[in-house]
Amino acid sequence: MNATPRQSTTEPHERQAAYAYPLPHDEAGRLAALHALEILGTPREERFDRITRFARDSLQVPIALITLVDTDRQWYKSCQGLPNDQTPRGVSFCTYAILSDDIYEVTDASQDPVFSDNPTVTGPPYLRFYAGQPIRAPEGHRVGTLCVLDRRPRQLTPEQRQRLRDLAGWAELELHAVTVYRAARETEKLRHRLNSVLDAAAEGIVALDTAGTVVLANPAAEKLVGWHEHGGLKGRDFHRTVHSRHTDGTPYPSVDCPVHSLLQERGVVTAQEDTFWRRDGTPLPVRRSAATVTEAGQPTGAVLVFEDISLEQEVTRAKDEFAAMISHELRTPLTSIRGSLALMASGTFGELPTGPLHDLLDMALTNTDRLVRLATQVLDYERLSSGRMPLRRAPASLRDLVSASLDTVRGAADAAGIGLEAEVPSPITLHVDADRIVQALVNLLGNAIKFSRRGHAVTVLVRRSTEDSTVYIDVTDTGRGIPPDAVGRIFDRFRQADSSDARDHEGAGLGLALVKSIIEAHDGTVTVRSSIGAGSTFTITLPTSDGTEPS
Ligand code: ADP
**Side by side, which strands form the sheet with 298-308?**
214-217, 204-208, 298-308, 283-295, 268-277
- The pLDDT score that the predictor gives to residue 333 is 86
Confidence of residue 44 (pLDDT cuts 50, 70, 90): very high
Rg (C-alpha) for the chain, rounded Å, is 42
- Which neighbouring-strand residues pair with 396? 430
pLDDT at 498 over 70: no
More confident residue, 54 or 7: 54
Q: Which of 288-302, 367-381, 503-517 has the highest mean pLDDT?
A: 288-302
pLDDT at 2 over 80: no
Q: How many residues does the chain have?
A: 551
pLDDT at 12 over 60: no
> How many Å apart are CA 229 and CA 232, to the nearest integer?
7
- The pLDDT score that the predictor gives to residue 7 is 35
pLDDT at 410 over 60: yes
> Cis link prior to 390 (omega < 30° from 0)?
no
Confidence of residue 43 (pLDDT cuts 50, 70, 90): very high
pLDDT digits (tens, 9 = 90+) for 443-495: 999 999 999 999 999 999 999 877 778 899 999 999 999 998 888 788 887 66
Mean pLDDT of 148-173: 97
Provide CB contacts within 8 A for 496, sequence distance 6+.
Answer: 486, 490, 502, 507, 509
Which whole-number Å values give the CA distances from 365 to 89, 174, 466, in the listed order? 102, 93, 48
Mean pLDDT of 18-31: 89
- The pLDDT score that the predictor gives to residue 20 is 82
pLDDT digits (tens, 9 = 90+) for 190-249: 999 999 999 999 999 999 999 999 999 999 999 999 999 999 999 999 999 999 999 888
Confidence of residue 369 (pLDDT cuts 50, 70, 90): confident
> How many Å apart are CA 477 and CA 480, to the nearest integer?
9
Could you tell me the sign of the dihedral formed by the alpha carbons of 480, 484, 486, 487, in that order? positive
More confident residue, 2 or 64: 64
**Contact, 437 vs 401, CB < 8 A?**
yes
pLDDT at 384 over 90: no
| Strand 419-423 to 457-464 pairing | parallel
In degrees, to the nearest 5, what angle opens at C-alpha 183 toward C-alphas 179 and 187? Answer: 175
**Contact, 544 vs 428, CB < 8 A?**
yes
Q: How far apart are the first and last CA of the chain?
A: 99
Residue 536, ligand 1, Cβ within 6 A: yes
> How many Å apart are CA 27 and CA 41, to the nearest integer?
20
Cα–Cα nearest to 61, from 45, 79, 43: 79
> How many Å apart are CA 523 and CA 436, to the nearest integer?
13
Mean pLDDT of 387-410: 90
- The pLDDT score that the predictor gives to residue 6 is 34
Q: How far is the CA of 499 from the centre of ligand 1 (A)?
A: 11
Residue 491, ligand 1, Cβ within 6 A: no
**Contact, 534 vs 478, CB < 8 A?**
yes
Atom of ligand 1 nearest to the CA of 514: 6
More confident residue, 181 or 109: 109
Q: How far is the CA of 509 from the centre of ligand 1 (A)?
A: 7
> How many Å apart are CA 199 and CA 194, to the nearest integer?
8
In degrees, to the nearest 5, what angle opens at C-alpha 51 toward C-alphas 47 and 52? Answer: 120
Choose the residue to mutate in 456, 512, 529 for probing ligand 1, maximizing ligand atoms within 8 Å of C-beta: 512
Query: Which DSSP category does 1 fall into?
Result: -
Which of 80-84, 176-180, 291-295, 415-419 comes out lowest in average pLDDT?
A: 176-180
Confidence of residue 503 (pLDDT cuts 50, 70, 90): low
Cα–Cα nearest to 382, from 480, 270, 513: 513
**Contact, 58 vs 170, CB < 8 A?**
no
- Which neighbouring-strand residues pair with 217? 206
> How many Å apart are CA 249 and CA 478, to the nearest integer?
41
Rounded percentage of the chain residues whose pLDDT exceeds 90: 62
pLDDT at 16 over 50: no
**Contact, 352 vs 410, CB < 8 A?**
no
At residue 96, the 3 state secondary structure works out as helix
**Mean of all residue pLDDT scores within the chain:** 88
**Contact, 108 vs 129, CB < 8 A?**
yes
Residue 482, ligand 1, Cβ within 6 A: yes
- The pLDDT score that the predictor gives to residue 525 is 93
> How many Å apart are CA 244 and CA 144, to the nearest integer?
62
Query: With 0-12 CB in 10 A as exposed, 13-18 as middle and 19+ as buried, what is 513?
Result: buried
The structure's pTM equals: 0.54
Phi (first) and psi of residue 434, to 5 degrees: -55, -45
- What is the 3-state secondary structure of 424-479? CCCCEEEEECHHHHHHHHHHHHHHHHHCCCCCCEEEEEEEECCCCCEEEEEEEECC
Choose the residue to mutate in 381, 475, 493, 496 for probing ligand 1, maximizing ligand atoms within 8 Å of C-beta: 496
Residue 277, ligand 1, Cβ within 6 A: no
Q: Where are the alpha helices (DSSP H) in 16-61?
A: 27-36, 46-59
Phi (first) and psi of residue 454, to 5 degrees: -50, 135
Q: How far is the CA of 494 from the centre of ligand 1 (A)?
A: 10
Residue 509, ligand 1, Cβ within 6 A: yes
Rounded percentage of the chain residues whose pLDDT exceeds 70: 93
Residue 448, ligand 1, Cβ within 6 A: yes
- The pLDDT score that the predictor gives to residue 321 is 80
Task: Give the type of residue at 112.
Answer: D
- Which neighbouring-strand residues pair with 87? 74
- The pLDDT score that the predictor gives to residue 510 is 82
Residue 512, ligand 1, Cβ within 6 A: yes
SS3 percent helix, strand, coil of the chain, rounded to 5, is 40, 25, 35
Mean pLDDT of 503-526: 82
pLDDT at 10 over 50: no
Q: How far is the CA of 481 from the centre of ligand 1 (A)?
A: 10
Cα–Cα nearest to 257, from 244, 276, 268, 241: 244
Cα–Cα nearest to 206, from 246, 175, 235: 235
- The pLDDT score that the predictor gives to residue 441 is 96
Cα–Cα nearest to 479, from 520, 446, 435: 446
